[in-house]
Amino acid sequence: MRKTYDIETLIQNFKNKDKVALAKLITLVENEPDKALEIFKHFDNSDKDSYIIGITGSPGVGKSTLINILAKQLLDEGKSVGVISVDPSSPFSGGAFLGDRVRMTEVSLDPNIFIRSLASRGHGGGISRAVFDISLLYEAFGMDVIIIETVGVGQSEVDIYNLTYTTVVIMVPGYGDSIQIQKAGIIEVGDIYVVNKKDLGGEDIVVQLEMMLDDATVQTGWRPPALMTNSISGEGIDKLVEKILEHKNHLELSEALKKKKKNRFEYKIRNLLTYKVGKVLESLISEEEREKISNSILEGGKYKIYDLVHDLFRNIKFEKKKESSK
């Protein structure tokens, strides 16, 4: 029989480092955003912050494979790692490296790693909300490092960029190298560039990258390095770890880490407010009103939609004014 838990018990187990409780709390915040309030009030701010790394790149460039081996290295150094993999088209295999330490299951036997995959759709309040809340749970769990895997560029990418401290952009040799580099301003988002699958070549793309990075204006005092890795053999991973640490030190020394942390919370505050305002708006418009305007649109033509929504909005403000003048 399946056991159900109340939040108090879950939190207690979570604080005793029970990964089943971690998994259940993640599922709760993922599916029911409003539960976050109830959950996070049980934590104080005594834990140390985790270091948050974003790993991004087109589908199939080897992000998950690289994260496996990176995580393995961090675990060997005695660190604990929480992974959030957004919209994985290929499942997290656990890789040959983590072998029996980390299997395909989300709750592995190793107490120091936890991997969670998220589909990018179907989350109340959006993917970045879920990523933020899961990161917060990982921090409360005491993870030293959090790694977030995301695909490509686009809105979710911008979102993730706001939630991480070091962004690693991964490319591969072969498909339209210069296009890969130029795509959607990729040169602006990376703190570290990695050309993975170095067993298949890629020296030329590194040369191109280096040229573009030389040309780019460096305002932060950090000139992003371009590295080559083979995530299957592990070649180049040491160097990647070294560069991540260097970037972390750079951020700490320049006070930029503080700014990034502040930005992360400001971003979350905006998201939360948008979510709350959305809820208030929804509660102010009745099902009948909604029905009325969709019927008017159907009858009166779709071009009236702006007028109708504008009127609807004006009426909401009117209602609110009446209420506050009470």
Ligand X SMILES: Nc1nc2c(ncn2[C@@H]2O[C@H](COP(=O)(O)OP(=O)(O)OP(=O)(O)O)[C@@H](O)[C@H]2O)c(=O)[nH]1
Residues within the interface to ligand X (CB under 6 A): 57, 59-65, 88-90, 151, 196-197, 199-200, 230-232
Q: Identify the three-state secondary structure at position 325.
A: coil
Q: Give me the least distance between CB of 51 and ligand X, in Å please.
A: 21
Q: Give me the least distance between CB of 266 and Mg ion, in Å please.
A: 29
- Please give the Cα distance from 206 to 4 (Å, whole number): 52
Partner interacting with residue 82 (select from Mg ion, ligand X, none; CB below 5-8 Å by kind): none
Residue 58 or residue 296: which is nearer to Mg ion going by CB? 58
- Please give the Cα distance from 137 to 14 (Å, whole number): 10
Residue 125 or residue 149: which is nearer to Mg ion going by CB? 149
- Which listed range, 9-17, 83-91, 117-125, 140-148, lies at the site for Mg ion (CB under 5 A)? 83-91
Q: Residue 291, Cα to own-chain centre: how many angstroms? A: 36
Closest C-alpha among 271, 257, 60, 322 to residue 174: 60
- Please give the Cα distance from 241 to 237 (Å, whole number): 6
The one among 56, 64, 135, 167 contacting Mg ion by CB under 5 A: 64
Residue 10 or residue 70: which is nearer to ligand X going by CB? 70
Q: Give me the least distance between CB of 140 and ligand X, in Å please.
A: 27
CA distances (Å), origin 212, targets 44, 71, 182, 243: 45, 30, 9, 19
User: Amino acid letter at 47?
Assistant: D
Residue 225 or residue 236: which is nearer to ligand X going by CB? 236
Interface residue list for Mg ion (CB under 5 A): 63-64, 88
